């Protein structure tokens, strides 16, 4: 049975998202500790360094995904040329979600560490359910099959706007910027 492009994307997606999730969950206790200790200088330092780490990782993983779109598709669907090409193109388009998702994952973990579950849940809900649902029903109608693969990057972009809003709106309250 042929593995559809979504299967190929999901297999690799877990590995790439794990980088962001691992970092975010790993740094969250340190953020929470410094927030509780009212060590604003270190909280600011952690926030800035984390954004740099997430930014560099996002660029590296996106470039890696774009570069490896063909070889990754070949691993899973080399037996069918049409399915290979569809999977390669799908993963190439989907790869742009890695530029954005790290900031959203970090944002959710960051606000959890600051004991603000409502903002954390808003970011998480927005990126995983609200925006993905909205764009999956609109983009394919406008762009065809490419709209399916573009729906996650667009949803991540919309979620990034929510994350950036909260980063900016809460910076004085939590003293991280």
pLDDT at 1: 42
Contact assessment for residue 129 and residue 148, using Cβ atoms and an 8 Å cutoff: no
How many whole angstroms separate alpha carbon 72 and alpha carbon 36? 44
Average pLDDT per block of 10 residues along the chain, 177 residues long: 68 90 98 98 98 98 95 90 92 95 98 98 96 96 94 97 98 95
Dihedral, CA atoms, 163, 51, 18, 100, nearest 10 degrees? 50
The pTM score is: 0.93
Q: Where are the beta strands (DSSP E) in the chain?
A: none
- d(CA 55, CA 67) in angstroms, rounded, equals 18
Q: Give the number of C-alpha atoms closer than 13 A to the C-alpha of residue 89, restricted to the C-beta side.
A: 10
Neighbours of 123 (CB within 10 A): 27
């Amino acid at each position: 049975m042929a593995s559809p492009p979504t299967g190929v994307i999901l297999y690799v997606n877990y590995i790439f998202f794990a980088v962001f999730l691992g970092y975010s969950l790993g740094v969250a206790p340190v953020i929470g500790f410094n927030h509780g200790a009212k060590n604003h200088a270190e909280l600011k330092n952690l926030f800035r360094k984390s954004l740099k780490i997430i930014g560099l990782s996002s660029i590296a993983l996106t470039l890696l995904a774009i570069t490896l779109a063909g070889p990754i598709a070949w691993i899973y669907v080399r037996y069918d040329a049409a399915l290979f090409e569809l999977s390669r193109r799908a993963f190439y388009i989907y790869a742009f979600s890695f530029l954005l998702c790290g900031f959203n994952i970090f944002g959710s973990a960051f606000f959890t560490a600051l004991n603000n579950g409502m903002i954390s849940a808003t970011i998480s809900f927005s990126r995983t359910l609200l925006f993905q649902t909205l764009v999956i029903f609109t983009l394919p109608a406008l762009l065809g099959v490419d709209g399916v693969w573009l729906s996650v990057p667009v949803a991540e972009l919309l979620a990034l706007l929510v994350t950036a809003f909260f980063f900016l709106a809460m910076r004085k309250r939590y003293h991280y910027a």
